[in-house]
A and B are shown apart, each in its own frame.
Chain A
Amino acid sequence: MNGFWSVLSREIRLSLRGGGEILTLVLFFVIVGAVVPFAVGPDKALLARIAPGIVWIAAFLAMLLGLEKLFGPDRADGTLALYRLADIPLSAVVAAKVIAHWLTAALPLILASPVLALLLAMDATSFWRTVLSLLLGTPALAGFGAIGAAVTVATRRGGLLAPILIAPLSVPVLIFGVGAIAPTGGPDQAQAAILLLAALSLMVVVLSPFAAALAIDWGED
């Protein structure tokens, strides 16, 4: 457990000192969301209708953007090899990193989502549903992200590959994430989507550290 906290605190410390990385990510999130009205027109009714989708797409892209930082620098400076010699299982290290990734790449986006809600003319109910669905869904994105980053860490051109690999896997997260907000299917469907999203997140967060650790261990071997 000791080692787990060491990794977690190191990761968070590194992101906080990362020279405004978190700020960049949040800005990216807000700007992607704010650019959409220029493309589809400032019609408030239309914007309010597609706002959940925009927020989710912006969060999805922003989280993909931060993936390269997950294992890339650790591999470059030799830390990853030493993780494999550490006294805690590699999967625990990966789990700590997934949690740190969520805290530094997803939580700031959720905190910034009111800005987007305002710009996209969301009403209060759908805003709160958006926050809830982001809270429930982003852990799954972080878990898939860890898998994508882990399988590409040993390659030379991993940067763009990881998003390509995990985007198809993330389809259910987007579907249930937006389904939990959008009123299309009525409240029953939204409720079901929330439950499915939570189940999916739970499963991905529990299983992804093992898959990612396996991929790192065998990719480095």
Chain B
Amino acid sequence: MTIDTTPKMTWWNRLSHPGQFVALTRPLVLPLALLTGVLFAVGLWYGLFSSPPEKYMGDTVRIMYVHVPTAWLSQFVYATMAVSALGTLVWRHPMADVSMKAAAPLGAAFTAMALFTGSLWGRPTWGTFWEWDGRMTSTLVLLFIYLGIVALWRAFDDQLRAARVVAVFTLVGAVNIPIIKFSVDWWSTLHQPASVFRADGPTMPGEILTPLFVMFFAFTFLFITLQLAAMHTEVRRRRITTLERRAARGDAR
């Protein structure tokens, strides 16, 4: 119940002030956006034109260049949210709230894309759009968790309060995701023995790895750019709420 007067590191202090955070990170957005654009251009050129078809899968391997990065992001974004949730709960860092809130819809979008490309990859490879295999099923469950978190954010009027509650739920989800993954794997091997395609088959040749890596970084940098932009928007949105409340209360402090 006393004020926290312990001195903190200055960069941490500066980052924890919303306005300072925006001022510090805004110059990063444009270079990041440019870098993302270049990476996407290079990745697409490699992925669609320069790289040869794969030996077994043929041209469908090109779906992998958009599927693997989105699938990676679907987990990376959750990790970002979980770390931010820790930031909210343990250090009460104000920007952690904002980061959590900005990441949730992005994560949901990337997870949906991973499922979409996965099923388009599955049709030529397995002959079906949807297969209840371990990976696809747990990604679907992850999508539901993301959407639940987005819904939970929207259900609160007071966003400060929402942040801590959502943080608790995000961490509960983070603890549960490995369990879900394990249980789903257990379940899918039980019901349909090894008929599915395994990605860890033959080692991939360099001409496939190059576009994969470039696209991987392109998507990751895209996420970082969007995340920063969305965080800035969220900081402004909170500022708007504060101003509107003040205006409603009729004082011009």
Size category, B interface: 20 to 34
Find B165's partner among A168, A184, A196, A215 (CB 8 Å cutoff): A215
Given contacts A152-B152, A185-B190, contact A171 B184 (CB under 8 A): yes
The distance in angstroms between the C-alpha atoms of A207 and B179, with both chains bound, is 14
Check A168–B186 contact: CB distance below 8 A. no
Check A165–B148 contact: CB distance below 8 A. yes
Check B161–A221 contact: CB distance below 8 A. yes
Given contacts A171-B183, A172-B183, A184-B191, contact A164 B148 (CB under 8 A): yes
SS of A interface (majority): helix
Which chain A residue has the least Cβ–Cβ distance from B163?
A218
B155: chain A residues within 8 A (beta carbon): 152, 155-158, 161
B175: chain A residues within 8 A (beta carbon): 207
The distance in angstroms between the C-alpha atoms of A165 and B172, with both chains bound, is 11
Check A161–B156 contact: CB distance below 8 A. no
Q: Does A26 contact B (CB under 8 A)?
A: no
Q: Does A198 contact B (CB under 8 A)?
A: no
Check B152–A214 contact: CB distance below 8 A. no
Check A156–B173 contact: CB distance below 8 A. no
Which chain A residue has the least Cβ–Cβ distance from B155?
A155
Q: Does B242 contact A (CB under 8 A)?
A: no
Give the interface of A toward B (CB within 8 A). Answer: 147, 151-152, 154-158, 161, 164-165, 167-169, 171-172, 175-176, 179, 184-185, 189, 196, 200, 207, 211, 214-215, 218-219, 221
6 sampled A-B residue pairs with Cβ under 8 A: A151-B166, A165-B148, A171-B141, A171-B180, A185-B190, A211-B172
